Structure 1
């Protein structure tokens, strides 16, 4: 069904601008094309009616005006007028007559060569100007870049903040997945570096037509941004290196906008990194760090040659520190995790030291959870082999075995160590425990194919392990966080479940998902919830020992079933209801999981005091009331996911029913008026014919026609008076001939409109009735 926003906008006038049509709808406002009395055009943004009474939203709306005015006008749409105290606040800004970068790439294809370079330079210029004004845009994306004839302009400062802002948790919509920096997804303190990351992601889209971090689901996209590598295939020339540096996970390693602009203008060959940023040639382990705390490996550690990447010499030459060149951090050769030469430190300490090597004044590391010095590396009941617990070794004859080949355990003491996070490990279980504590470093290992190969060779060849899933090392890793979780759960199921440094026992999940509002508002916490709401992850976590055995697995099955039920309901609505056929609604798995964990939070969405929205919510929520868990959780999430569609259908209903009522009423009034003027016209015509009796009676009277002549004469006089009276009455009541003719045309037009309006109203009512049958069945 057609969206009425483009049909009835012209009936509104805001601040002297007649609204012509809708240009788009955002998180808390809608933008219309407005026309002033002098013919000038503007983009008029109205705060949503539902937000108009919210003082915080009014404040943010006002901040948008203030922030946009602080930026140089050459790179943004300048503010023309605004009324922030109106009942429905509005902003009128310069109308950019041109497509968005999103539309342009979709219709004309990706950019390349000098055209791409010009786009990169001009958008980087705009970004530098925005940051020079002390503003962070926070939602730079292809849809917010307008391609004007005189260059691109950045629009929509609706979620921008000043640089000195310290938090983003108060913001509802915090950006657009696919163009958000890792720290933005994490809800951390934001700096201008988030815009540099977004700019690079936008340029990847401009050059390739796809996102820099493509993935099939929202959770997978978030995971790839946090821990994966960008897909730069298709980007050519020096820009590859520039974009790689700007897409660094570490915000401090990205160039600022001014440095980026200078680098683009200078145009160095080979894609070197802008001054002040880490070299683009930084190994993937550093580039892909999932947070801003990752330490870049020292250059000498990365360039050391002559060392076997899978072995560390047992007797290094004097003065040479044995360092595995594939490791990120420097290694203290006296630190051996899981081995206590002195017998005093816990055998499970990740960075265990003998008393002789512990720095003065620093206590020895405490044994890990559930360990004592006498208990050995693993607690009783751990599900891995005794040989593994004792640190199986590889005989020297097996050191040349191919990757993953069967190996023969070597005599004790000959196992080469594995270096991780600055420590040496001689058993996999202790390594897994340390990886759980240092999740970021573990993600670097699994995200780098070379690093994974080294780890796999150590696990399978050196330790001779036959229990861990080989696919962790032999297949491409789509989600490094999942790979780390799987590695830890297989080696140390005795550990409590942890994911990305967060405890995720069932009690922890219930606490995290107790409040589903972040999922409805788009607050940063929602990103973490989305990453956790995956059946495959829950099944991995279910391998850990838990006070609630099997709870993670049951939750995974329920999540699977509920999500299928919710999506099936959305698909059926789209298939059977005419108004839904152009929509694509999918449920949010995180919201499903919130409802599964806390069914009391399963409440219908608000209707905003809109009767049409209330009707749809009431009908759709019947599916929730009529189902049991887990299906009811899926249906509830489907109703919440369908709210944008419901609101659009509500606007359509108001439009069609309003227009039907208006046209029907006008049609009835026109019909009465036209009927009256037609009757008056016929009466006037009859009177004109009667006037003929006047001259006939006069002639007969001269011929002494007697009484008949007098009758005709009197009839003629009466017809003359009647004609004059009827004509005057018709003119007074119905207007002149032109107005009466126009009224007839208006009646014909309304007769043509009514069938279409009747059909539109009928379709809406039919959809409501069919939806009622679907949700009640």
Structure 2
């Protein structure tokens, strides 16, 4: 299922592809080397995508976006050929880790280092936005820490500011660093990058995400309605980051104002948040802080009352909450055909599940209308149907505290509705889409299920989740799938009438079980294997739902031509084979989410084993040569000592008392002299001068000192593989 291209040992645009630096769903990045020695990061589109016209267009757009951005603080583009047989782009090679890896391995940034990171990344953001570009996927993995400062990389899903109006199928980004409006599918501006910057700074300072949660569904809920966890982030940066993480994009500073706030230092922050130097306590460039969880004032209503007080004027409750606006003229009696079309006066409507006519809304007799997209509604059922048909406009109603309170007042006070859950209007809506879906399902369960404008019947879900590639590659459609693949959404869709009313509940339960099993499997690996301790869990509910709806798609991922990755997949997949049902699906999804970890482990293993082999071979070679060299040196030294036999032998021979012994000693001395001369020549020719021989001994000692660490590294990696086999029953 994964795209499988073997690494090319070839030349593209004058760059020789030396080795792979990383691999994604759409392409692979190689270390390229030009003839003059210049190094570049060469991103090559996968062969399987090269024939896709849309992918070529996106790749060409990436090149164009990168060229529009000034080269400081970003990875500058060097050359590109988006129209070639294998489209490629060469950017500045940055010799350094990503922020994600640096924090995972070295810990959070502190003090001046954190301030420098904040200013430099904000500068890069200002340059990106000055070029009319919205990055839309700013995250720690897309910030490289070069020796001369951080660089922002990967404009693969960037878009120009003037074309950032996205539809339901166009949500892109990385959950955890996405702004609420990205998740909601609203029109995007450069404010989404400011939100992402704030989330990145929290990770850099604390090592944790600002909206950390055990599951993806709960992370989404926290981003949409929860408060960020800023950890021990200190002022003045804390106040600036808090402003950047505001739910309302209008209240976030733009990149230029953000940079000014960072440069202003401690004087740029007040009790109500950061302000520009010289500004009053009520800043002019950044709106005052407003509690995003505070709803508009609601009328005092008896919570036990389900109908208006006796004698209450039914025309006042809604109108006093509705925003001041001119009412449109009454529509013609043409039939309602969609958002913006006129609607006739509806027939009497009986709320689903009501007995007799006790919850009947007549739509006549003085009941005030509710206005939605310029249309007058007196029947909540017709309103629910219209809202389902114009999801974008409806979600703005439920996302705005004042509008939601006005709708609640109309339903509860004016109509005396007894069907819709009061909590939809009396509590802060963490997720406006879920609130809207609940409203529609309670009033009109007879309608087919729809979520965020997408049909959500079981056949439609099966069709939407039939292809796992968007989830695996991170294509724009993947985040929309992730928003649908939540147990809470599935359970709401199950409230609509259908052939199998329990199917959604079973699917939601299976999704819950699978996600928890996947996270537990990942924790088991990170807790038991040394190489996994910094691995970030990535159990994608959209991929889980794909496998639940299409079990035949659940096959082991491709190893990408890397045998080391393949070995890990073979080991871990045994757990999938041993765990059928939702648990096995969760384990499979955890493996797919850990592919980046597997690739890193495979690279580490190759590095350590290659270095171990290299150093151990060097050690063996040096050891043999030094040993031989030392042996010859010792023999020559003995020969030099034997030269003392010459004077002794001469004395004995001349004295006449031991002529035989004297002659023998003289012969030994002569032979020792000859041997010493020969050995000196051998040492000089075969082993170098004394300085070189001394260096060889030092090299041997250095190799011997490195071997224990390399041996430990190799043994640790092999121990991880062995332990993984035990964990998976292999």
Q: TM-score range by the shorter chain?
A: 0.7 to 0.9
Hey, what's the Cα distance between the residues in 1 that align with 2:584 and 2:414? 51
With 598-607 and 121-130 compared, the bigger mean Cα shift is at 121-130
The CA deviation at 1:714 is 1.8
2:353 — aligned with what? Answer: 383
Equivalent in 651, 664, 684 of residue 636 of structure 2? 684
1:91 — aligned with what? Answer: 91
Structure 1 residue 332 corresponds to structure 2 residue 328: yes
The question of whether the paired residues in 1 share the 8 Å contact of 2:339 and 2:389 is answered with no
* Correspondence list, 1:582-597, <5 A: 582-597=534-549
With 490-499 and 230-239 compared, the bigger mean Cα shift is at 230-239
Equivalent in 105, 110, 116 of residue 107 of structure 1? 110
The question of whether the paired residues in 2 share the 8 Å contact of 1:383 and 1:492 is answered with no
Structure 1 residue 725 corresponds to structure 2 residue 728: no
Hey, what's the Cα distance between the residues in 1 that align with 2:160 and 2:180? 19
Partner SS, residue 91 of structure 1: strand
Superimposed CA distance per residue, residues 636-687 of structure 1 (whole angstroms, 9 cap, x where no aligned partner): 1011011111111111211222222222222221221122112112211221
The CA deviation at 1:390 is 3.2
- RMSD of Structure 2 on Structure 1 (CA): 5.8
The question of whether the paired residues in 2 share the 8 Å contact of 1:98 and 1:147 is answered with yes
Equivalent in 704, 712, 734 of residue 665 of structure 2? 712
Structure 1 residue 740 corresponds to structure 2 residue 693: yes
The question of whether the paired residues in 2 share the 8 Å contact of 1:23 and 1:33 is answered with no
Hey, what's the Cα distance between the residues in 1 that align with 2:316 and 2:91? 69
Partner SS, residue 46 of structure 1: strand
The question of whether the paired residues in 2 share the 8 Å contact of 1:245 and 1:255 is answered with no
Hey, what's the Cα distance between the residues in 1 that align with 2:718 and 2:219? 39
1:772 — aligned with what? Answer: 725
The question of whether the paired residues in 2 share the 8 Å contact of 1:456 and 1:473 is answered with yes
* Correspondence list, 1:212-223, <5 A: 214=211, 216=213, 218-219=216-217
Size of the aligned set, in residue pairs, is 664
The CA deviation at 1:604 is 1.1
Hey, what's the Cα distance between the residues in 2 that align with 1:283 and 1:326? 21
The CA deviation at 1:700 is 3.4
The CA deviation at 1:65 is 6.9
1:126 — aligned with what? Answer: 127
Hey, what's the Cα distance between the residues in 1 that align with 2:581 and 2:688? 69
1:469 — aligned with what? Answer: 421
Partner SS, residue 655 of structure 1: helix
Structure 1 residue 602 corresponds to structure 2 residue 554: yes
Hey, what's the Cα distance between the residues in 2 that align with 1:757 and 1:172? 48
With 576-585 and 326-335 compared, the bigger mean Cα shift is at 326-335
Hey, what's the Cα distance between the residues in 1 that align with 2:94 and 2:516? 45
Hey, what's the Cα distance between the residues in 1 that align with 2:631 and 2:170? 64
Hey, what's the Cα distance between the residues in 2 that align with 1:511 and 1:518? 13
Hey, what's the Cα distance between the residues in 1 that align with 2:530 and 2:153? 34
Stretches of structure 2 that go unaligned for 5 or more consecutive residues are 1-13, 231-235, 261-274, 294-311
Superimposed CA distance per residue, residues 673-726 of structure 1 (whole angstroms, 9 cap, x where no aligned partner): 122112112211221122222233333343445443332222211111011112
The question of whether the paired residues in 1 share the 8 Å contact of 2:73 and 2:149 is answered with no
Hey, what's the Cα distance between the residues in 2 that align with 1:702 and 1:59? 104
Hey, what's the Cα distance between the residues in 2 that align with 1:98 and 1:633? 31
TM-score by length of 1: 0.69
Equivalent in 413, 417, 436 of residue 388 of structure 2? 436
Hey, what's the Cα distance between the residues in 1 that align with 2:561 and 2:171? 23
Partner SS, residue 514 of structure 1: coil
Partner SS, residue 387 of structure 1: coil
* Correspondence list, 1:498-577, <5 A: 498-577=450-529
With 102-111 and 212-221 compared, the bigger mean Cα shift is at 102-111
* Correspondence list, 1:217-616, <5 A: 218-219=216-217, 247=249, 312=315, 326=322, 331-332=327-328, 334-335=330-331, 377=349, 382-387=352-357, 390-391=360-361, 413-616=365-568
The CA deviation at 1:525 is 0.6
Hey, what's the Cα distance between the residues in 1 that align with 2:700 and 2:578? 49
2:579 — aligned with what? Answer: 627
The question of whether the paired residues in 1 share the 8 Å contact of 2:32 and 2:41 is answered with no
Hey, what's the Cα distance between the residues in 2 that align with 1:592 and 1:97? 31
Hey, what's the Cα distance between the residues in 2 that align with 1:676 and 1:215? 62
Hey, what's the Cα distance between the residues in 1 that align with 2:123 and 2:608? 45
Hey, what's the Cα distance between the residues in 2 that align with 1:65 and 1:714? 85
Hey, what's the Cα distance between the residues in 1 that align with 2:330 and 2:36? 81
The question of whether the paired residues in 2 share the 8 Å contact of 1:680 and 1:726 is answered with yes
TM-score by length of 2: 0.73
The CA deviation at 1:759 is 2.4
Hey, what's the Cα distance between the residues in 2 that align with 1:599 and 1:451? 43
Hey, what's the Cα distance between the residues in 1 that align with 2:87 and 2:685? 42
Hey, what's the Cα distance between the residues in 2 that align with 1:347 and 1:48? 48
Superimposed CA distance per residue, residues 16-60 of structure 1 (whole angstroms, 9 cap, x where no aligned partner): 9999xx9999996779999x999xxx9x65347996997689998
Hey, what's the Cα distance between the residues in 2 that align with 1:150 and 1:82? 22
Partner SS, residue 604 of structure 2: helix
Superimposed CA distance per residue, residues 529-576 of structure 1 (whole angstroms, 9 cap, x where no aligned partner): 101111111111111111233111110111111112111111111122
The CA deviation at 1:236 is 11
Structure ranking higher on relative contact order (CA contacts 8 Å, 6+ apart)? 2
